[in-house]
């Protein structure tokens, strides 16, 4: 019944049911009218037959005084067969003088009065001579009338059984054709998300749908403006926050170079460490703000291999653990994905930083580009349980580690990847090993 939840399915169902019921009602009324007409035809046949037999038996062809027992009229067509009409000729006393081949010898139950009589087994018409000495009673079978009625009703119903499938096919064709603009608009709206906020074209839409389209396009326009404002705000905020922190850190490091006394230098180093921690936390918060602003939602594309190469090169140049980073690729051609290179670079930096910070210092961090364009980042670490894997995904949750950090890296990465229609799969231990941690960026299959 899932198909009937749609507008087209419901229209098809109700129109088909309504038309079918109307056809059946029409057949019912037709059967009733046909029953009345058949009754008139049968009654007319009974009356005409009886009235034609009366002159035959009153012209001396049959003399009641000469009859001792009822005489049966033998059929000329051979052995007795079923007769639609049976008749009896009776005198004024009710004695049967003559009867048809299959008629009973016992008198019919109808009285000797001109007119129709309804018996349980059939309908009888009585006709008599003017002097009332001879009566002819003609009877038809109730089963014959019922059989004729059933055959007539079936003749009306059979075309309906053929028409209903044709009606269903016609309804399906018409409904699908008429509602095709609705389906087109539904599909166009369904494609809209944070990465696709372009206006929807109005070509080919009927007048009833154009107000809906205008409202949707207006909403998309407002969303584009809101996202642009948030991105601009977070970008400006990043510069405004980094500058004073960087200045304070530089002044502290200059002060350290001038201080000679141990107690003062120790306090200055504490200030330097706090400022560095604040700078890193500020950077993460700015990244989170940019992710919340939707910097990954765009209609542009980037090459996965190019971004991975740039980020790995930056780590190898600037990181103290550059020797631990190993990168390899199974790609043989550029792999374009939806999103921005900046957002994907933020994802990679967070995942590689986590691998360097929380992985074993004596084991490498492997970065591997699969043939499908996915990115795997693996590092040595103690295996994690399912509960621990779920916990590290939460914001400000850092798991069982003493390494510095804010607990925002995975949250930022997941947020940005969702905007790029990708996902982050965490696995521990690494398949084929008893320990290790893998973070894999999985993009949707190209289609």
Q: Give the model confidence (pLDDT) of 175-226 as tens digits.
A: 888 878 887 777 777 777 655 677 777 777 777 777 888 888 888 888 777 7
Residue 1's pLDDT is: 46
Residue 211's pLDDT is: 82
Question: Rounded to an integer, what distance in angstroms lies between the CA atom of residue 349 and that of residue 319?
Answer: 12
pTM equals 0.49
CA geometry: angle 208, 214, 218, nearest 5 deg: 160
Nearest to 441 by CA among 375, 377, 342: 375
Is it true that the peptide bond before 35 is cis, omega within 30 degrees of 0?
no
Crossing angle (nearest 10°) for helices 262-292 and 210-258: 170
Residue 404's pLDDT is: 54
Q: Which residue has the tokens 């973070």?
A: 439
Residue 181's pLDDT is: 81
Residue 5's pLDDT is: 66
Sign of CA pseudo-dihedral 335, 336, 342, 344: negative
Question: Rounded to an integer, what distance in angstroms lies between the CA atom of residue 308 and that of residue 330?
Answer: 13
Q: Report the length, in residues, of the chain.
A: 447
Q: Give SS3 for 410.
A: helix
Contacts of 338 (CB under 8 A, 6+ apart): 195, 298, 299, 300, 301, 420, 421
Judged on CB neighbours under 10 Å (0-12, 13-18, 19+), 242 is: middle
**Average pLDDT, whole number, for the chain?**
77
Q: How far is CA 349 from CA 48, 57, 313, 399, 408, in A?
A: 106, 119, 11, 19, 12
Decide if 189 contacts 56 (C-beta within 8 A). no
The first and second tokens of residue 204, run together, are 């080919």
Residue 76's pLDDT is: 47
pLDDT in tens, the chain (447 residues): 455 567 777 787 888 888 888 888 888 888 888 888 888 888 888 888 888 888 877 765 455 555 555 655 555 454 445 567 888 888 888 888 877 777 777 888 888 888 888 887 788 888 888 888 888 888 887 777 788 888 888 887 888 778 878 888 888 888 888 878 887 777 777 777 655 677 777 777 777 777 888 888 888 888 777 777 766 776 666 666 777 777 777 888 787 777 777 677 777 778 877 877 777 777 777 777 667 666 666 667 888 888 888 888 888 887 677 778 888 888 878 888 888 888 888 888 888 888 888 888 888 888 898 888 888 888 888 888 888 777 777 755 555 554 555 567 777 788 888 888 888 888 888 888 888 888 888 888 765
Sign of CA pseudo-dihedral 193, 197, 201, 207: positive
Question: Rounded to an integer, what distance in angstroms lies between the CA atom of residue 163 and that of residue 19?
Answer: 10
Nearest to 417 by CA among 300, 301, 291, 299: 291
């Amino acid at each position: 019944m899932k198909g009937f939840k749609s507008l087209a399915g419901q229209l098809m169902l109700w129109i088909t049911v309504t038309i079918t019921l109307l056809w059946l009602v029409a057949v019912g009324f037709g059967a009733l009218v046909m029953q009345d007409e058949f009754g008139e035809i049968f009654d007319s046949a009974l009356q005409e037959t009886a009235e034609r037999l009366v002159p035959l038996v009153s012209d001396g062809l049959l003399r009641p005084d000469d009859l001792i027992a009822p005489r049966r009229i033998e059929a000329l067509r051979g052995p007795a067969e079923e007769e639609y009409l049976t008749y009896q000729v009776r005198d004024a006393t009710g004695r049967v003088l003559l009867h048809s081949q299959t008629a009973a010898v016992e008198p019919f139950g109808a009285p000797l009065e001109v007119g129709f009589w309804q018996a349980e087994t059939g309908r009888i018409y009585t006709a008599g001579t003017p002097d009332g000495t001879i009566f002819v009673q003609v009877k038809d079978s109730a089963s014959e009338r019922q059989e004729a009625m059933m055959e007539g009703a079936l003749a009306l119903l059979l075309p309906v059984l053929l028409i209903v499938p044709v009606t269903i096919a016609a309804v399906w064709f018409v409904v699908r054709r008429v509602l095709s603009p609705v389906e087109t608009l539904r599909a166009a709206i369904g494609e809209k998300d944070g990465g696709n906020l372009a206006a929807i074209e109005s070509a080919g839409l009927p007048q009833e749908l154009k107000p809906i389209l205008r409202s949707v396009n207006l909403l998309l326009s407002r969303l584009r403006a809101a996202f642009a404002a948030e991105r601009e705000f977070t970008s400006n905020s990043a510069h405004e926050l980094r500058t004073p922190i960087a200045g304070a850190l530089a002044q502290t490091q200059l002060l350290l170079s001038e201080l000679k006394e141990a107690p003062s230098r120790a306090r200055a180093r504490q200030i330097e460490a706090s400022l560095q921690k604040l700078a890193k936390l500020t950077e993460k918060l700015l990244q989170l703000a940019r992710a919340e602003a939707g910097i990954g939602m765009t209609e542009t594309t980037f090459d996965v291999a190019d971004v991975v190469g740039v980020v790995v090169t930056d780590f190898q140049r600037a990181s103290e653990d550059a020797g631990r980073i190993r990168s390899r690729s199974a790609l043989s051609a550029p792999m374009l994905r939806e999103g921005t290179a900046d957002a994907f670079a933020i994802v990679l930096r967070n995942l590689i930083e986590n691998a360097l910070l929380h992985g074993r210092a004596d084991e490498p961090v492997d970065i591997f580009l699969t043939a499908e364009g996915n990115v795997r980042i693996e590092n040595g670490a103690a295996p994690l349980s399912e509960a621990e894997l779920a916990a590290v995904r939460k914001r400000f949750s850092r798991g069982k580690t003493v390494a510095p950090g804010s607990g925002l890296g995975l949250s930022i990465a997941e947020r940005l990847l969702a905007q790029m229609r990708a996902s982050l799969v965490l696995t521990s231990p690494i398949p084929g090993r008893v320990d290790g941690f893998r973070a894999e960026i999985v993009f949707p299959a190209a289609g």
